[in-house]
Amino acid sequence: RPEPDANALKAQIEAMGHAVSLEPLLDIELLPIAPDAVSRAQAIVATSRNSVRALAESAALAQALELPLFGVGPSTGELAHSLGFRHVVAGGGSAGDLIPLIVGKTDAAQGPLVHLAGEVVACDLSAALAVQGIEVEKLVTYRAHPARALSSQTAQAIAAASLDAVVLMSPRTASIFAQLVAGAGLRT
C-alpha cells in the first residue's frame, strides 16, 4: 500500500504476530479539485481513500458533504464519515460491489454521479452504470506513480529468500513488483 495506508496495514499484520517490512510500490500525488466539481451531482462515488483525501483538501468539500457518498469499502466509508459526510454507503471492497448499491439507491433523473477516481481505474463505473441509465462523471483526483526500484532491504530479503509472503493490493502493484524484481535481477 502507498502511504499513509502502508503503516496502518503494517500494524494490523504485526498485531497478528508477523514481522513486516514496508515497500510501497506506488507514490500518491493528490490533484486539485475545482470548487464547483460536484455542483451538478446527486451523489459522489469514491473508489479509493486517496480520492477522499484529495476531496478533503479541496474547496469542493463543503458542497460535497451535503451529498450521499458511495465508498468502495468500509475504510473509505469511515474516512468519509470522519470528514463529516452524513450519508455514506460502503461497498464490499471493489468498485463492482458498488454497482448494485448505486442502482438501488439513486435515481437517474436526479442528475449525474461524480466518481472521484485515480488516473488509472480497475473498473469502468461509467460504462457499467450507463447500462442502467445512470450518468457518471469521472473526476481524476490523484495519480499513483510507480516505484522506480526496490529498496536495498527488500532486494536483499528477496535474494536471501527470507520473505514468507508479499502483500500486493491490486493487479497494478503486482505488475510493478514483478517488473522491479526482474529489473533487479532477482527471482521470487
Q: What is the tens place of the pLDDT at every residue in 123-151?
A: 889 999 999 999 999 999 999 999 999 99
Which cell numbers in the block locate residue 25? 510500490
The three-state secondary structure class of 181 is helix
For the cut 70, the answer to whether the pLDDT of residue 188 exceeds it is: no
* Model pTM score: 0.85
| Long-range pairs, 135-138, Cβ under 8 A, ≥24 | 135/108, 135/111, 136/45, 136/112, 137/40, 137/41, 137/112, 137/113
CA dihedral 107, 110, 112, 114 (to 10 degrees): -90
More confident position, 170 or 135 = 135
> Measured in Å, how far apart are the chain's first and last C-alpha atoms?
20
